Amino acid sequence: MKIGFLAFHPGAVNTMTKVIKDLRKNKDCKLFFYPFLEYAIKEWNLNSDTTLFEDSMEFFDCLRKDLDVLVYSSAAGSIVEEGIP
């Protein structure tokens, strides 16, 4: 299963972190990360050179189209959040 994680604010990062830690133990899951905050890079233990995404419609060109699940929070009112179907 291919699962993506997208977060725009620290509360969303915190909520997803436990799920990410558990899913990393599951060899059947391949995880993809779309951090919009440096905090997400730190909390999700991503490489320090991970690029932050920008809140723009161009983001959708970067989003994998074959994800089985995309986990995100819609509380920030960003362009990307509002554009996710």
- Distance, in Å, from the CA atom of 40 to the CA atom of 21, rounded to the nearest integer, reads 13
- Distance, in Å, from the CA atom of 58 to the CA atom of 39, rounded to the nearest integer, reads 22
**30-85 pLDDT per residue, tens:** 999 999 899 999 999 999 889 888 888 888 888 899 999 999 876 666 777 777 76
Residue for token digits 């959708």?
Answer: 60
**15-40 pLDDT per residue, tens:** 999 999 999 999 999 999 999 899 99
Chain-centre distance for alpha carbon 50? 12
Which 3 state secondary structure label does DSSP give 22? helix
Its pTM stands at 0.86
Give the angle subtended at the CA of 69 by the CAs of 53 and 23, to the nearest 5°: 90
pLDDT, residue 85, reads 67
What percent of the chain stands above pLDDT 90?
Answer: 56
